[in-house]
Every structure is written in structure tokens, then in C-alpha cells.
Amino acid sequence: MNSTSVLRPLGAEIAAFLLAASCAGCDEPGHLLCRPCGERLTPAPQRVLTPAGLPVHAALGYEGVAARCIRRLKSDGETQLARPLGAAVAAVLAPMVSSSTWIVPVPTARSAFRRRGYRVPELLIRRAGQSPQRVLSLVARPVDQRTLGAKERELNVRGAMRALVASGGAAAVLVDDVVTTGATLDEAARALRAAGFRVDSAVTLAATPRRAGFEGDSSRTHRGHDESHQ
């Protein structure tokens, strides 16, 4: 069998896949992300605070096209979406780092990593043109936070992380995908500071709008992290 006869069916399968694809933002067939939806991923930075007062710089609001694209990345394995989403992260992350800054992703639950085969915060950091440094580890298994209120989330993740290395005061920026109440980011910052890091801010791809049941004003509404500790 020659190479042409081998490649022809492969090319047909790729074409069929592309035709079956639908836009993550609007479901238009034939596109993973159509141009109008891609334009809606243009960064619209917003600054919010965690309950402990950590400033969080989010590239997008978690709604509309951005929310649908993030769900496709996290739930459907559409890793190609990490490129435009990572570009949005870069807009808020790049101005906050220097050559000596540690860029630390919030750790992903093992169950989520096994299911996906990749860690979303780390993937976003790489697509933002930076190198993630896996400093934090989960030492407890918090319950799924999606049904919990702000105070419950805080209690759920308290003491759940530790740093794998110590620092003598190096600056670190935390990175996560979406922030709702900020409980997970506060726990991550606590673990880093306990190891000697200086944590003055965090970056997320998106921030959720204010939801009923979450305490504080719109500057204090956040989402935590992955399934087991959102």
C-alpha cells in the first residue's frame, strides 16, 4: 500500500471531524471558534478581592461566550481553545511578572487530572507564553464546592494545600482558571506564604458575576478551583 492510499482516508477523517465541529461560543457548524465569538474573548480585565483581601486580576467575565469556551475546555477536552483563552490570560499576567517571579498554578485535583489528562491552569499559563511552576500540592480532598456558599467554601479548603519548596521571600503570582468566592486562592496564598513566598496578587482567566448566597459586594465574589475545591 503506497503512502497516498494511506493518507487519503486519514485526510477524509480529518475533514469529517472539522465539518462536524461546532463553535464553542455559538454552535455554528464547521468552526471550533468562529470569528465573532473569538472577538468576544478580547480581554476585558477586572479586579476583584478575595475574602482575605488578595487582589485578583481576571481577564474576562465568566458569562456568555467566555463561559461556554471554558466549559468546553474543562469538560469536553477542547484543548485547542486554550490558545485564545491563554492569550486573554497573557494580557493580565504579563504585566505582573518579571524574570524572578514564580508563576504558580492552583493545583488540580487528581481525579480531574485523570479524567482530562491535563491541568487547566498550567495549560493556560503555557498558552499565555509563561512557564508554570508546580509549587503547590493538595494534601486534603475537599468536597465539590459548586453547591457551597462563601463561608462553607472557605472552611472546605482550609489547610488543603502545602508548598513543595521553600523560599526566602521570592515573589509569586497565583494563577487559576475561574474565581468565584476566592476561598481557594486565599488557601493557596496561605500555603505559599507559609513557605516564605511573597504573594501580592493572583490572575484568573475569568471571574464569575455576583451570585446569591455569596457574601460581600461584587469586589469579593469569586470562584475557587477545580471540581473538588471550587
Domain with residue 208: its CATH number is 3.40.50
Locus of grid cell 521570592? 170
Q: Is 81 in the same domain as 11?
A: no
Residue 102 phi, psi (nearest 5): -85, 125
Q: Show the domain range for 25.
A: 1-39
Q: Is 28 in the same domain as 58?
A: no
Rounded Cα distance between 45 and 168, Å, is: 31
Q: Is 131 in the same domain as 89?
A: yes
pLDDT band, residue 153 (cuts 50/70/90): low
Q: Is 121 in the same domain as 190?
A: yes
Give tens-digit pLDDT for 131-152. Answer: 999 999 998 665 555 555 555 5
Q: Is 20 in the same domain as 60?
A: no
Q: Is 21 in the same domain as 78?
A: no
Give tens-digit pLDDT for 37-52. Answer: 999 999 999 999 999 9
Q: How many domains does the chain have?
A: 2
Average pLDDT over residues 178-189: 94
Q: Is 123 in the same domain as 100?
A: yes
| 147, three cell numbers | 453547591
Determine the pLDDT at residue 224: 38
Predicted TM-score (pTM) of the model is: 0.80
Q: Is 17 in the same domain as 128?
A: no
Q: Is 34 in the same domain as 140?
A: no
Q: Is 147 in the same domain as 219?
A: yes
Rounded Cα distance between 186 and 224, Å, is: 9
Does residue 20 or residue 68 have the better pLDDT? 68
Q: Is 153 in the same domain as 168?
A: yes
Determine the pLDDT at residue 157: 65
Q: Is 106 in the same domain as 201?
A: yes
